[in-house]
Structure 1
Amino acid sequence: MTRDELFPPRGSSLAQFTRAAEAVSQDVIGAYSTSFGMATRLLGRRHRRHVRNIYALVRVADEIVDGVADQAGLSLEEQRDALDRYAAETRHALRTGYSTDLVVHAFALTARECGIDEALIEPFFDSMRSDLVDGDRRIAFDEAAHAAYVYGSAEVVGLMCLRVFLRDRGAADAVRLRAEHGARQLGAAFQNVNFLRDLGDDTARLGRSYLGEGSALTQRELESWVTEIRSQLADAEEAIPLLPLDARAAVRSAHALFANLTDRIARTPATELTARRIRVPNPVKLILVASAILATIRDRRR
């Protein structure tokens, strides 16, 4: 594609439409996640809008399966149809570079510029589809199903962001593979932490057991998941120096936030996780962000 196709002249109707689409994506991340919204502000300007566009697309799909469509009165079949239409529109926009859906339009432009293809998009929608089952049926994941779900729902999102960060950089295959492993591990850690944070809502309202086939999480299982998450975070941290400098502060701050959440979850009895959602206080978030910024400043001086 030519640069004019990716970035139409500012005065054109398409350019105006694209600016509106990207503003909507920014609104989505602002409405749904203060933590990730804060992290994206630490990205270099050349990355910021792309990551917001990715977040907005996956957030809308996630909301379809997590109750918004149901609360709007859609039947299970209608919810499946809504998700399938959203996936089809995403594929179409990826081919054409245009969608009447503002969020999809913004994502498609990011995907086309950064090399995000259907090999990453389809596993994501596959994981979303697995959440839509008959209301009287519980979703319980064994080890293999958990791994497949986490890959599609979270690891591919990490890989999408990595393609944004590395789009202008050539990298040796060995370096790229290490960076991809780190991106997948960070996505998996984020998802597993969220499974633990949302344990009460997932089991009571949505009827889902993402962390095993048992009816309740035991203390031993909790300790095992915390160990797994810490290993994933350690792998992800090793890959941060492989990222461009203008992406590191944001990734470090998100990593630090989830490491802190993991520590807080580890100190919480398993029986309490279903009763309350663990959070990081805002003053602590600010300290974590400041530390991430300082670490990246030190990288620049080396």
Structure 2
Amino acid sequence: MSPGTVDLGSAYAACRRVNARYGKTFFLATTLLRPDQRPAVHALYAFARWADEIVDAAGVTDRAGELDRVERLLEKAPSNPILHALADTMHRYDIDRSLFTDFLASMRMDLDVTEYADLDALGVYVHGSAEVIGLQMLPVLGTVVPREEAEPYAARLGAAFQLTNFLRDVGEDLDRGRVYLPQDVLGAHGVDRDLLQWCRRHRRANDRVQRALDDLVAHSYAIYQSAEPGIGMLSATSRPCMQTAYTLYRDILGLVGCEVLWRRVAVPNSRRLAVAAPGVGRALLARVTTHGIPG
């Protein structure tokens, strides 16, 4: 092994630790994948998390420069463990490099853009921050239809997950100076940044804020519904994982109220286990049916 080279197994293990620590709901769902699929998913998650941390890190003085450095490293054989695992995943599954370029472009938007006029403007950001992640995942998950047929559904599911995060993390994003909720939807209900900050500061609900959140929750539910047919297009061994992730993330929407402005809502562990447990049986059955033995 050449100096500075990271052992591939150790690199993937580092990515797994990132996923387990920061993406608990998604990490639970990944346990339903075949063992050979999980490392790639952990690598994709860890890279996205790493870039997101660069954007939000108070101690990084040149965040744009750091993102540029990360993008340059994608072209090399990196010694960073996350990038080393990612490079292997990209090669192994022939994942288009432009999907990572688009992702980093949205991360750069976070350095300057603090609000979005409407859903169309937000959609530009969401394409790079979330839809491309669905497209990155698709080669790893596998499909039973031509991949291009499943791609629009994978992108929509990524968008649905992202919109759920926006609704769940309104308060935390306010502290970072950002409002991802579209200004036209907020304005239609008489809500502005000052009112959101007042609710957060005083831990008080507001009817206008609640109505705006309700509208965006309904919009997000509609995207989940339009993405759902794509789960059936995945390989049989991948469906239990994505069905579990789909259900648990969608469940978060049912918890969204004004309290998201001052606390982080989460699906209870009992519900997570109730959703994941049947998936274990389906995953094992799919592996036996497809490969003859459980993995």
**TM-score range, shorter-chain basis?**
0.7 to 0.9
Out of 187, 190, 208, the residue aligned to residue 158 of structure 2 is: 187
What is the identity, as a one-letter code, of the residue corresponding to 1:151? Answer: H
Say yes or no: does 1:250 pair with 2:241: yes
Say yes or no: does 1:26 pair with 2:22: no
More contact order relative to length (CA 8 Å, sep ≥ 6): 2
Distance (whole Å) between structure 2 residues aligned to residue 170 and residue 254 of structure 1: 19
Provide the alpha-carbon RMSD of the alignment: 2.4
Say yes or no: does 1:237 pair with 2:228: yes
* Secondary structure of the corresponding residue to residue 265 of structure 2: coil
* Secondary structure of the corresponding residue to residue 117 of structure 1: coil
Distance (whole Å) between structure 2 residues aligned to residue 180 and residue 261 of structure 1: 24
Partner in structure 1 of residue 219 of structure 2: 228
Out of 258, 273, 277, the residue aligned to residue 264 of structure 2 is: 277
Say yes or no: does 1:87 pair with 2:71: yes
Distance (whole Å) between structure 2 residues aligned to residue 291 and residue 170 of structure 1: 22
* Secondary structure of the corresponding residue to residue 111 of structure 2: coil
Q: What's the TM-score once normalised by structure 1's chain length? A: 0.81
Counterparts in 2 of 1:224 and 1:178: CA distance versus 1, 3 Å: farther
* Secondary structure of the corresponding residue to residue 220 of structure 1: helix
Distance (whole Å) between structure 1 residues aligned to residue 52 and residue 38 of structure 2: 21
What is the identity, as a one-letter code, of the residue corresponding to 2:155? Answer: R
Distance (whole Å) between structure 1 residues aligned to residue 45 and residue 171 of structure 2: 24
Contact 2:6 2:81 in 1 (8 A): no
Contact 1:139 1:209 in 2 (8 A): yes
Structure 2 unaligned blocks of 5 or more: 184-191, 197-207, 290-295
Aligned ranges for residues 35-114 of structure 1 at < 5 Å?
35-66=25-56, 68=57, 70=58, 72=59, 74-75=60-61, 78-90=62-74, 92-93=75-76, 98-114=77-93
Contact 1:140 1:208 in 2 (8 A): no
Distance (whole Å) between structure 2 residues aligned to residue 140 and residue 170 of structure 1: 37
Query: Once the 2 structures are TM-superposed, how far is the Cα of residue 32 of structure 1 from its aligned partner?
Result: 1.1
Distance (whole Å) between structure 2 residues aligned to residue 208 and residue 221 of structure 1: 17
Contact 2:115 2:181 in 1 (8 A): no
Partner in structure 1 of residue 169 of structure 2: 198
Contact 1:124 1:156 in 2 (8 A): yes
Say yes or no: does 1:146 pair with 2:122: yes
Query: How many residues end up aligned between the 2 structures?
Result: 267
Counterparts in 2 of 1:63 and 1:149: CA distance versus 1, 3 Å: same
Partner in structure 2 of residue 164 of structure 1: 140
What is the identity, as a one-letter code, of the residue corresponding to 1:288? Answer: V
Contact 1:155 1:183 in 2 (8 A): yes
Tell me the alpha carbon deviations over residues 84-106 of structure 1, each in whole angstroms, 9 at most, x when there is no partner.
Answer: 1012112x13xxxx211110010
Query: Once the 2 structures are TM-superposed, how far is the Cα of residue 177 of structure 1 from its aligned partner?
Result: 3.7
Contact 1:26 1:53 in 2 (8 A): yes
Tell me the alpha carbon deviations over residues 69-89 of structure 1, each in whole angstroms, 9 at most, x when there is no partner.
Answer: x2x2x33xx111111101211
Query: Once the 2 structures are TM-superposed, how far is the Cα of residue 171 of structure 1 from its aligned partner?
Result: 3.8
What is the identity, as a one-letter code, of the residue corresponding to 1:283? Answer: S
Query: Once the 2 structures are TM-superposed, how far is the Cα of residue 113 of structure 1 from its aligned partner?
Result: 1.5
Distance (whole Å) between structure 2 residues aligned to residue 16 and residue 86 of structure 1: 17
Contact 2:161 2:249 in 1 (8 A): yes
Out of 172, 177, 180, the residue aligned to residue 210 of structure 1 is: 180
Structure 1 unaligned blocks of 5 or more: 1-11
What is the identity, as a one-letter code, of the residue corresponding to 1:188? Answer: A
Seq. identity, %: 34
Contact 1:131 1:139 in 2 (8 A): no
Partner in structure 2 of residue 4 of structure 1: none
Tell me the alpha carbon deviations over residues 11-48 of structure 1, each in whole angstroms, 9 at most, x when there is no partner.
Answer: x6799711111111111112212212211111112211
Distance (whole Å) between structure 2 residues aligned to residue 46 and residue 235 of structure 1: 29
What is the identity, as a one-letter code, of the residue corresponding to 2:177? Answer: G
What is the identity, as a one-letter code, of the residue corresponding to 1:39? Answer: A
Query: Once the 2 structures are TM-superposed, how far is the Cα of residue 248 of structure 1 from its aligned partner?
Result: 1.1
